[in-house]
């Protein structure tokens, strides 16, 4: 739980420079933001390198140290041998050493700033063709759910006006009444980090476009691209710490925390050919080939993998959840405006201001993580899961059609339409049973949030899961009125 009021601001400028032989677009964006909260100075080490042990042995923290009347450290033995504090039931000197050690454990969120330059270049080759190049740096504000999760930011110890108790009065950040980060109950979830930086991406694209045909009715474009994302929010395990003061979670705190440690790479190519509307007909085809890989999934998904898919930390490069390796789209259209076609019995008049279109799309299936299991009880164990995202769902295909008709009555114009999606009523799997790789039958993993279940295995079966299948044939119709 947390309560925070972060803020973000950005400004963007762009200039166009045109020459007879070249067009250049220059741009830049400046980002500034602050999460506004305090959290662990070192997210991987709650003690920030100084525990009660070091203080008892004479270490100085923020100008404070523990020395006896002779100017000597109390030593670890002395801290444990001191009188017991009746409030905490712990040695008084150990409590004092713990508070001193906490002095450098927390710090306020630092401002996130970034300048992101962009450039685009168009270089004409002929009157009908050109080369183009685009490159830029882009940034993304980290998900605030990851920034604040379990940090206690903005929550006050003790009872609220509604009687809700956030944390004990002793479980606070030094010098405040704000709750300290919750690292005791984070398994299998994780702790946020208010000092997360902006996630960064560098993108490059180069391509060629041209017009074809005697009347330039055809357009061809080919482009290749590469995108590299770094500093993505990812989960890491805390470092081992021997904390004799048991400051946050016993003498050996262990938790998982988000840091800027992940990366993603996407590259691919696209080619498209379009025939512009001519003689009432138009059509186009598009093909894309792509591959995207990452060393880990987004924090919530990575947490899910460790929790329900063999309790493994990934941290190896695999394809992303959204990696669609191939796509193909085709479209054909027919439009009649006032140029009425000549048909028998003057039937062409019925087609005035009418347009018809049909589209076909195909895409390869998304990745999923197979399991080798023969019963529901074995799903999620260390022996059943294959490599993360090593399987592929079936190919999805869709055929859609639409017809639009415009007409007017007494100075009022109308437009009526009728559309059909998934015309062939194909069963497209958008999610699969992990042990079979299809959406018809198999064993369902009830621990996994992404299947949309509530976790109550007594009210579900392993078959007939409607959310596993995409929308079947759907019909839409309507009319719009313009005055």
Pure H helices in 325-478 = none
Adjacent-strand bridge partners of 24? 17, 121
Return d(Cα 99, Cα 170) in angstroms, integer: 11
Adjacent-strand bridge partners of 400? 359
Q: H-helix or E-strand containing 221? A: strand 218-237
pLDDT digits (tens, 9 = 90+) for 84-114: 988 888 899 999 999 999 989 999 999 999 9
pLDDT of residue 311: 45
pLDDT digits (tens, 9 = 90+) for 443-453: 765 555 444 33
Adjacent-strand bridge partners of 140? 199
Return d(Cα 324, Cα 363) in angstroms, integer: 7
- Concatenating the DSSP letter of every residue in 12-43 gives EEEEEEE-SS-EEEEEEEEEEEE---EEESST
**C-alpha angle 323-328-329 in degrees, rounded to nearest 5:** 125
pLDDT of residue 225: 97
Return d(Cα 119, Cα 437) in angstroms, integer: 44
Give Rg (Cα) of the chain: 31
Q: H-helix or E-strand containing 304? A: helix 299-308
The helix, strand and coil proportions of the chain, stated in percent and rounded to the nearest 5, come to 10, 40, 45
pLDDT digits (tens, 9 = 90+) for 352-408: 888 999 999 999 999 988 876 555 444 444 445 667 788 899 999 999 999 999 888
Residue of 28, 99, 89 lying closest to 65 (CA atoms): 99
Which parts of the chain register pLDDT below 70? 1-2, 159-165, 185-188, 307-315, 342-348, 372-386, 444-464
List, in order, residues 6 or more apart from 374 with CB less than 8 Å away: 435
pLDDT of residue 162: 59
Angstrom CA distances, 93 to 43, 53, 63, 253, 387, stand at: 27, 11, 18, 21, 51
Angstrom CA distances, 415 to 348, 404, 474, 477, 482, stand at: 18, 7, 20, 11, 8
Residue of 285, 291, 293 lying closest to 222 (CA atoms): 285
What phi and psi, each to the nearest 5 degrees, are found at residue 396? -110, 140
pLDDT of residue 379: 47
Pure H helices in 16-160 = 52-56, 75-81, 92-101, 144-148
Angstrom CA distances, 434 to 68, 309, 363, 426, stand at: 64, 11, 20, 21
Tokens of 228: 């590299």
pLDDT of residue 170: 73
Residue position matching structure tokens 């032989």: 21
Residue 94: asked if its preceding bond is cis (omega within 30°), the reply is no
pLDDT of residue 449: 43
The answer to whether 422 and 400 are in contact (CB under 8 A) is: yes
The answer to whether 426 and 394 are in contact (CB under 8 A) is: no
Residue of 30, 200, 228 lying closest to 114 (CA atoms): 30
Pure H helices in 395-447 = none
Adjacent-strand bridge partners of 286? 272, 329
Question: Domains in the chain and their CATH numbers?
Answer: 7-30+111-140+185-482 (2.40.170.20)
Angstrom CA distances, 244 to 45, 57, 63, 337, 451, stand at: 14, 12, 21, 83, 43
Return d(Cα 82, Cα 78) in angstroms, integer: 6
Return d(Cα 189, Cα 180) in angstroms, integer: 17
Adjacent-strand bridge partners of 221? 209, 272
The answer to whether 209 and 132 are in contact (CB under 8 A) is: yes
Beta strands in 86-198 (DSSP E): 90-91, 106-108, 112-124, 129-140
């Amino acid at each position: 739980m947390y309560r925070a009021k972060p803020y973000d601001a950005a400004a963007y400028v762009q200039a166009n420079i045109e020459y007879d032989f070249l067009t250049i677009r220059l741009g830049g964006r400046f980002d500034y933001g602050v999460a506004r909260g305090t959290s662990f100075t070192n997210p991987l080490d709650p003690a920030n390198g100084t525990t009660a042990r070091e203080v008892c042995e004479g270490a100085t923290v923020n100008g404070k140290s523990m020395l006896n009347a002779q100017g000597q450290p109390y030593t670890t033995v002395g801290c444990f041998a001191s009188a017991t504090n009746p409030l905490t039931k712990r040695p008084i000197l150990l409590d004092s050493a713990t508070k001193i050690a906490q002095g450098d454990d927390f710090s306020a969120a630092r401002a996130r700033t970034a300048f992101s330059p962009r450039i685009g270049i168009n270089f004409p080759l002929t009157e009908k063709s050109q080369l183009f190049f685009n490159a830029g740096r882009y940034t993304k504000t980290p998900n605030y759910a990851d920034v604040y999760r379990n940090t206690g930011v903005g929550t006050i110890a003790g009872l609220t006006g509604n009687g809700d108790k956030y944390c004990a009065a002793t479980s606070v950040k030094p010098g405040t009444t704000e709750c300290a980060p919750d690292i005791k109950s984070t398994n299998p979830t994780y702790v946020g980090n208010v000092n997360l930086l902006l996630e960064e991406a560098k993108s490059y694209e180069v391509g060629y476009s041209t017009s074809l045909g005697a009347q330039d009715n055809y357009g061809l474009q080919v482009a290749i691209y590469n995108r590299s994302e770094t500093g993505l929010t990812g989960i890491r395990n805390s470092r081992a710490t021997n904390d004799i003061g048991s400051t946050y979670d016993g003498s050996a705190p262990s938790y998982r925390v988000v840091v800027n440690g992940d990366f993603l790479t996407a590259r691919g190519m696209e080619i498209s050919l379009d025939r512009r509307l001519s003689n009432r007909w138009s059509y186009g085809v598009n093909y894309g080939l792509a591959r995207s890989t990452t060393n880990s999934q987004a924090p919530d998904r990575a947490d899910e993998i460790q929790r329900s898919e063999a309790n493994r930390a990934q941290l190896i490069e695999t394809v992303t959840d959204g990696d669609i390796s191939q796509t193909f789209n085709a479209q054909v259209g027919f439009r009649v405006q006032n140029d009425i076609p000549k048909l028998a019995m003057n039937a062409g008049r019925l087609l005035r201001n009418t347009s018809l279109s049909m589209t076909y799309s195909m895409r390869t299936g998304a990745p999923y993580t197979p399991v080798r299991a023969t019963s529901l009880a074995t799903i999620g164990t260390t022996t059943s899961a294959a490599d993360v995202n090593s399987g592929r769902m079936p190919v999805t295909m869709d055929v859609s059609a639409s017809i639009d008709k415009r007409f007017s009555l007494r100075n009022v114009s109308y437009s009526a339409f009728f559309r059909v999606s998934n015309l062939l009523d194909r069963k497209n799997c958008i999610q699969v049973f992990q042990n079979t790789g299809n959406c018809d039958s198999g064993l369902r993993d009830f621990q996994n949030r992404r299947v949309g279940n509530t976790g109550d295995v007594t009210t579900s079966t392993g078959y007939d899961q409607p959310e596993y299948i995409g929308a079947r044939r759907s019909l839409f119709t309507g009319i719009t009125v313009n005055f």
